[in-house]
Structure 1
Amino acid sequence: MGNHTCVQVCSLVFLIMVSFLTKGILSDPCRPITNQILWCNGTGNSDINQTFIDSILKNKITPGLKEIHIFNGNFKELPPNAFGDCASKHGVKLNSLTELVLSNNKITTIHGKTFHCMPNLQKLFLDNNRWEIHKDNKNHTGYFNNLPNLVELDLTSAFFVAEGLHIIRFRQVLENSSFSKLETLRLGNNNMQFVDDAFGKALCTMDSLKHVNLQLNSLFKLAFTHCFQMSKYLEKIDLSNNTLSTLDQRSMDVFDFIRESNENFTVNLLGQQWSCDCNIKEFRNWMQNTKVHLIGKDKYVCHDGANFNRRIIHLTDAEMVCNDPGVDSSVQAGVVVMIVLFVLIAVALIVVVVLYRSRLTSFARGVRKSFARENHVQYSSVDNAPLTAEA
């Protein structure tokens, strides 16, 4: 009986130990795929929180890592030297790291020295976060200064988009970054409303740029500067699902020039809000004649007006007509004013006639009598005049 009890107690202790060990293993969101890859998946729980980033993560990072994947977490801040402290004597410098994935973590703040200890990084993914770049009180612009070998930067849905200031601020960051080797830049779904000259010039500094993704924004205006046409390696610009009503002449010229350097140059303009009036004639003509590969150009359809839902490439000149809203509105306004004045004058005359009818009647009689007397005097004078010889 005592031996049986001892066995039960030992079994219970063993199960408790296994339970604790298993719990410890299962609660760790990170899995060492290999000695060179660290894989941390929050799976929507709070395992990857701010405490994990500030205190626990550094214990998992080794100098030989080539890839770090941290995603589906729930933390706001990426602190300085979050992945290594290359400034300290015993700090870790990640010379072997080539890929850093920080997708879908609700990140709002990134410090200026967050990425300073990974000089050979080639791919950085910050997509699906809430980076409040415009609220950086320290006015940092050097987030990516220590990434001279970066080839791919993914900032799809990366910014907090309650204000348009985030794009102006990010443009300043681009202007102060060394992206001479950057080939792919993704900026989709960030509520960008325009590409201005300054932003275009920032893109011009990226000598190796091949792919630019600006899809799913709110772009209604482009300003690809002429320096952009020097991007001889550019292969594709994705502008799909924005709000362009037409394409400006300068952008068309720049695209044609790029095509001269790269015969495979492709532009995606699907999903716009094309306004098919006279202002789209040049774009329609360019579509028909350009050598630039326009993805699905036969599917570009009119967004509104008399040509609603018709395909642009099939429109004739006679069907692309402008009714100048400024002229029409002024003419209509003038007609309305004239009608109102005539009505007021007519009403005033009617009121006067009604109120002073008796006086007007007396006045009219007096006028008739006056004319009658005058005529009578004239006729009498003629009758009493002496006859002349000619008479």
Structure 2
Amino acid sequence: MAIATQVRLKLGFCNILWCVNSKMCVKFLILILFCVHISTSKDYCKGHFDNCICTDEVVECHHEQKLNGDITKLLHYIQDNVVNMTVTGSYIPELPANSVGSCKHESGLVLHQLKYLDLSNNSISNIHGKSLHCLPNLEILILRDNAWQVDRSPDKTGYFSSVSNLKHLDLTNTFDEVWNGSIHITKLARVFNETDMTKLEILELGYNEFFSFSLSAANSFCQLTSLKKLNLTHNNLDQPSLPNQKDCLENLTHIDFSYNKMAVLPREFMDKAEDLRDIKVIKLDNNPFQCDCGLVETWKWLNSTKINVNKKELLCAGGYHSSYKGKPVLSLSLSDLRCEQLEAPSNTAVKAVTGIIFAVVGLTLIAFLIVHRNKIRLVCKKWKKRVPNMRFRSHQGYASVQEVAVI
């Protein structure tokens, strides 16, 4: 029996060693240790909230109805040393000032250790300018799946002006759905112009219905001097832009424009992409490229660039010939990229068209005469009566014209 126990222990130890060498198992072990840590820690939210766990370092709330639209109700049970905070699936339409803690010189909760904050899927529409202003060590902020209406009133500025250590900002599907998503990107550009997120490395802006990404909007990203990855996937962009300011986005390595509305790539975009020294990956798949003469410059750039563009995944949505649809862009040759041209009509065609016109006019005239024949007869009779009788009458006493001539 003792031998069997030893064998089980050895096998268990071997399995653990195997797991250590496997990435999936390492993550699994971390998850187990995290759960054990939570289960052995004091829960400050117990008895106050049904779907929240609040320990010394972790706050987890999912679909908590007792918040009743007010996230500040949690502040009474959160400890100053919290590192990770997640509040999702609740109804929190507004984030007031000091929503997640006070500043150091103020009384109340101070979350200077907070590094991870997830406020996704909470129907957030209004954010105060000082909602997040006392989180100096925050590294990851997730605001995805909300309905934020970016406001520019005096108390709604400085959204990201005091999170200088932020490295990852997730604004996927964050903004209120409007008929023109360009409103949001314009307002957001102004927000970035006044930010101090100089350590931000990842910015996610997918699924926001942006219809344009203008040059001025692109230049506002120049404030994000450490940005490495920019995600603009699943929008409605037809003219992508990259900033034209000098020494801008010098650390950018990855940019994702997939699932947008681009039929061709602007010349300025391709030139700027070549100027970015560290750019390594540009994703452009699932755009409706039109494979005709308008795609010539794009086709040439795709064949010459050293940038890692996912070229094989770029497909034609239409083009010069109907058979191009669904084909890889680079499977076509340069001579395939043509546009329809109207040919000058031949002499035979001109004669045929002229003959048809005369025939139509003639038939129309005949039909008119037939339909109105009675009226035409009446008009002719009236006209005949008005014309004087021009018959020749000989003078009395003369038998004929010849007789008159003889006299």
TM-score where L is the length of structure 1: 0.74
Aligned to 1:96: 113
* 1:266-302 CA distance string (max 9 Å, x none): 001111111111011111111111100012x112111
Aligned to 2:389: none
1:289 aligns with 2:308: no
Q: Distance between the aligned counterparts of 1:230 and 1:277, measured in 2? A: 33
Aligned to 1:30: 52
**Residue 148 of structure 1 is aligned with which of 161, 164, 168?**
164
**Residue 275 of structure 2 is aligned with which of 232, 257, 263?**
257
**Residue aligned with 1:169, SS:** helix
- For structure 1, the residue ranges without an aligned partner over 5 or more in a row are 1-22, 329-334, 361-391
**How has the CA–CA distance of structure 1 residues 250 and 89 changed in structure 2, closer, same or farther, with 3 Å as cutoff?**
closer
**How has the CA–CA distance of structure 1 residues 228 and 122 changed in structure 2, closer, same or farther, with 3 Å as cutoff?**
farther
Q: What letter corresponds to residue 217 of structure 1 in structure 2?
A: N
Q: Distance between the aligned counterparts of 2:205 and 2:50, measured in 1? A: 32
**Residue aligned with 2:191, SS:** helix
Q: Distance between the aligned counterparts of 1:116 and 1:94, measured in 2? A: 11
Q: Distance between the aligned counterparts of 1:78 and 1:172, measured in 2? A: 20
Aligned to 2:136: 119
Aligned to 2:394: none
1:172 Cα offset (Å): 1.5
Q: Distance between the aligned counterparts of 1:251 and 1:46, measured in 2? A: 47
**How has the CA–CA distance of structure 1 residues 90 and 343 changed in structure 2, closer, same or farther, with 3 Å as cutoff?**
farther
Q: What letter corresponds to residue 97 of structure 1 in structure 2?
A: L
Aligned to 2:293: 278
- For structure 2, the residue ranges without an aligned partner over 5 or more in a row are 1-44, 344-349, 381-407
Identity %: 28
Aligned to 2:217: 199
* 1:28-73 CA distance string (max 9 Å, x none): 322135x22222222xx5244314x13x211122222222111121
Q: What letter corresponds to residue 226 of structure 2 in structure 1?
A: S
Q: Distance between the aligned counterparts of 1:128 and 1:74, measured in 2? A: 12
**Residue aligned with 1:143, SS:** coil
1:130 aligns with 2:164: no
Aligned to 1:5: none
* 1:344-364 CA distance string (max 9 Å, x none): 75466446765688899xxxx
1:92 Cα offset (Å): 3.1
Aligned to 1:314: 331
1:228 Cα offset (Å): 7.2
**How do residues 37-56 of structure 1 correspond to structure 2 at under 5 angstroms?**
37-42=58-63, 46-51=65-70, 53-54=71-72, 56=73
Q: Distance between the aligned counterparts of 2:296 and 2:192, measured in 1? A: 35
**How do residues 1-391 of structure 1 correspond to structure 2 at under 5 angstroms?**
25=47, 27-33=49-55, 35-42=56-63, 46-51=65-70, 53-54=71-72, 56-86=73-103, 89-133=106-150, 138=154, 140-164=156-180, 165-227=183-245, 230-258=248-276, 261-262=277-278, 265-295=280-310, 297-305=311-319, 306=321, 307-323=324-340, 345-346=361-362, 349-350=365-366
Q: Do 2:195 and 2:223's aligned partners in 1 also have CA atoms closer than 8 Å?
A: no
1:86 Cα offset (Å): 2.1
1:163 Cα offset (Å): 3.4
Q: What letter corresponds to residue 298 of structure 1 in structure 2?
A: K
**How has the CA–CA distance of structure 1 residues 181 and 275 changed in structure 2, closer, same or farther, with 3 Å as cutoff?**
same
Between 125-134 and 148-157, the greater mean CA deviation after superposition: 125-134
**How has the CA–CA distance of structure 1 residues 342 and 181 changed in structure 2, closer, same or farther, with 3 Å as cutoff?**
farther
* 1:250-281 CA distance string (max 9 Å, x none): 111111122xx22x610011111111110111
1:121 Cα offset (Å): 1.5
1:318 Cα offset (Å): 2.3
Q: Do 2:46 and 2:53's aligned partners in 1 also have CA atoms closer than 8 Å?
A: no
**Residue aligned with 2:208, SS:** coil
Q: Distance between the aligned counterparts of 2:318 and 2:242, measured in 1? A: 26
Q: What letter corresponds to residue 167 of structure 1 in structure 2?
A: I
**How has the CA–CA distance of structure 1 residues 137 and 58 changed in structure 2, closer, same or farther, with 3 Å as cutoff?**
same
* 1:221-242 CA distance string (max 9 Å, x none): 1121322774221110011111
Q: What letter corresponds to residue 215 of structure 2 in structure 1?
A: D
Q: Do 1:183 and 1:211's aligned partners in 2 also have CA atoms closer than 8 Å?
A: yes
1:162 Cα offset (Å): 1.8
TM-score where L is the length of structure 2: 0.71
Q: Do 1:229 and 1:255's aligned partners in 2 also have CA atoms closer than 8 Å?
A: no
**How has the CA–CA distance of structure 1 residues 204 and 271 changed in structure 2, closer, same or farther, with 3 Å as cutoff?**
same
**Residue aligned with 1:226, SS:** coil
**Residue aligned with 1:185, SS:** strand
**Residue aligned with 2:282, SS:** strand
